[in-house]
């Protein structure tokens, strides 16, 4: 069972990816994690990626796919995996598709966690973080006991720059331009499944489990 998670930043696809990985006992494969592991272990692919990252450049698609295929060739991926954070663009999807085809393999499901922009802006805008101890809250869903104060250490909670409405909207604009076309790409391959991401997290997961069977 090889799954790709799609959805806008803040749609909750990372949380769902972890839950799928746990339930079906397959690895949750995040490209960020793979890059860090390869660099830390000093692999040849990791060193190549580091050259680009040190210059503040994006790692080329071919190299990213090489690192990804190297990861999914591991024994723990023999029953499948959940890809989170890749592909992000049509060229990346095409490189991945070609590489998997050459291995006689393919993606089984592309699951789109669909949440309207206004919901995401509101959801992210409600987050609050404690910069002292790293605890996170949400003014609606996980409020602190005392307004604006961390339960754990008593420090003041802040709205991080990343969660401010204008920043979130900019990230969403990039997503619509670069990543949303993947929805059509995987629909054309007959593997796209869409779930309503505005529901409670558990209901979203139940909908995904029904799809995966």
Residues annotated catalytic, as ranges: 13, 88, 127, 160, 171
Q: Which two tokens stand for residue 194?
A: 């869409």
Separation CA 106–CA 94 (nearest Å): 12
Separation CA 159–CA 168 (nearest Å): 12
Separation CA 67–CA 124 (nearest Å): 31
* Residue given tokens 């291995």 in the structure block: 103
Q: Which two tokens stand for residue 1?
A: 């069972």
Separation CA 202–CA 141 (nearest Å): 14
């Amino acid at each position: 069972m090889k799954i790709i998670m799609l959805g806008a930043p803040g749609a909750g696809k990372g949380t769902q990816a972890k839950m799928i990985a746990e339930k079906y006992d397959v690895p949750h494969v995040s490209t960020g994690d793979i890059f860090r592991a390869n660099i830390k272990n000093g692999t040849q692919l990791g060193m190549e990626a580091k050259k680009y990252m040190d210059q503040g450049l994006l790692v080329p698609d071919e190299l990213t796919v090489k690192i990804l295929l190297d990861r999914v060739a591991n024994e723990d991926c023999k029953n499948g995996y959940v890809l989170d954070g890749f592909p992000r663009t049509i060229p990346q999807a095409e490189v991945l598709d070609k590489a998997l085809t050459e291995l006689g393999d393919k993606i089984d499901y592309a699951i789109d966690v669909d949440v309207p922009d206004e919901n995401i802006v509101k959801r992210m805008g409600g987050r609050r973080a404690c910069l002292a101890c790293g605890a996170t809250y949400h003014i609606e869903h996980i409020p602190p006991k005392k307004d604006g104060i961390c339960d754990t250490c008593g420090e003041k909670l802040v709205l991080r720059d990343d969660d401010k409405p204008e920043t979130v909207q900019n990230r969403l604009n990039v997503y619509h331009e670069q990543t949303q076309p993947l929805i059509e790409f995987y629909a054309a391959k007959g593997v796209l499944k869409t779930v309503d991401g505005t529901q409670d997290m558990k209901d979203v997961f139940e909908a995904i489990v029904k799809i995966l069977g």
